Amino acid sequence: MKVGLFIPCYINAIYPEVGVASYKLLKAVGMDVDYPLDQTCCGQPMANAGFEKESYAMAMRMEELFKAYDYVVGPSASCVAFVKEYHPGILKEGNHVCSNAGKIYDICEFLHDVVKPASLSAEFPHKVSIHNSCHGVRELNLSSPSERNIPYYNKLRNLLALVKGIEIFEPKRIDECCGFGGMFSIEEPEVSVCMAQDKVADHISTGAEYITGADSSCLMHMQGVIERENLPIKTIHIVQILATGL
């Protein structure tokens, strides 16, 4: 399988270690993985701000860069969900049929549903609390939404269970929003910060040393509260845990 690694712009700029870990992890599970150069933003921030039509060029750029790959895989549930759910409509305006939407996966979704590894070499002897991000839960089905009357499942938890030495927890309000929400955190900062404070407190109540999840944006938002208030917990992207020792 030929995999094109999609690294969202904010990960490239702020958390390059997450991109490196993603590449190493995909290689370790036997994927033929490539990182297309000259990637740009997928257009999500522009569309969230009300300029969806202006994101057409970025969606088209992504189509061209990833057209040769069997799968497009990225370490950001929100960006992957945007490509999957919104690129088809954006590109339809230019009479283009989106090809990426049918083959793009969040890296956790890809590992869990496509690769299905029976084991990993990772070891992380720490207590971690899973952050179930809104896009991951409700657009990519990484876990079951708490508002639906269905049996609980969590793909992130299943992957973390393959890591040696780890202790896994989840907060009481299992998939409550952290308050980031893209433009929401900018337009409603006071509410956004309060939501993050509540969410971090819920994670701390588990006794975990780390908050982990599939979205660096959510982790970044909570890390801001943690650092400002000097709270006894850290954040780490799930891919960094799964790739330990590689």
Instruction: Report how far residue 233's alpha carbon sits from residue 203's, in angstroms, rounded to the nearest whole number.
Output: 9
Domain count, the chain: 2
| pLDDT attached to residue 158 | 98
pLDDT at 118: 96
Q: Give the tens place of pLDDT for each residue, 139-197.
A: 999 999 999 989 999 999 999 999 999 999 999 999 999 998 877 877 888 999 999 99
What sign does the dihedral 115-119-120-126 (CA atoms) show? positive
- The residue out of 70, 92, 115 marking a domain boundary is 115
Has this prediction a pTM greater than 0.75? yes
122 occurs within a structural domain: no
Cα–Cα distance measured from residue 137 to residue 160, given in angstroms and rounded to the nearest whole number: 17
pLDDT digits 0-9 by tens, 211-244: 999 999 999 999 999 999 999 999 999 999 999 9
| Long-range CB pairs of 183-188, under 8 A, 24+ apart, other chains included | 183/45, 183/48, 183/49, 185/221
Do residues 117 and 82 make contact, with C-beta atoms less than 8 angstroms apart?
no
Q: Distance between CA 72 and CA 42 in Å, rounded?
A: 13
Judge if 105 and 144 occupy the same domain.
no
Q: 210 with 233: CB under 8 angstroms?
A: yes
Query: Do residues 134 and 106 share a domain?
Result: no
Q: Does residue 6 share a domain with residue 109?
A: yes
Q: Which of 86, 115, 144 is the C-terminal boundary of a domain?
A: 115
Give yes or no: residues 210 and 165 share one domain.
Answer: yes
Q: How far apart, in whole angstroms, are the C-alpha atoms of residue 142 and residue 76?
A: 12
Q: Of 193, 198, 158, which Cα lies nearest the Cα of 176?
A: 198
**CATH code assigned at 17:** 3.40.50
Residues 102 and 207 placed together within one structural domain of the fold: no
Structural domain including 58 reads: 2-115
Model pLDDT, residue 48: 79
Co-location of 177 and 88 in the same domain: no
Residue 169 per-residue DSSP state: E
Give the pLDDT of residue 183: 78
Q: Does some domain include residue 11?
A: yes
Q: Do 238 and 132 share a structural domain?
A: yes
The answer to whether position 121 is within a domain reads no
pLDDT in tens, 73-120: 999 999 999 999 999 999 999 999 999 999 999 999 999 999 999 999
Give yes or no: residues 103 and 197 share one domain.
Answer: no
Q: In the listed set 93, 115, 137, which residue is the last one of a domain according to the structure?
A: 115
For 19-83, give the secondary structure using H, E and C: HHHHHHHHHHCCCEEECCCCCCCCCHHHHHCCCCHHHHHHHHHHHHHHCCCCEEEECCHHHHHHH
Q: Are 156 and 143 in contact (CB under 8 A)?
A: yes
Instruction: Say yes or no: 149 and 174 in one domain.
Output: yes
Nearest to 220 by CA among 33, 18, 6, 68: 18
Q: Do 138 and 108 share a domain, yes or no? A: no
132 and 188 co-located in one domain = yes
Q: ∠ at Cα 150 (159, 110), nearest 5°?
A: 30
Do 77 and 178 lie in one domain? The reply is no
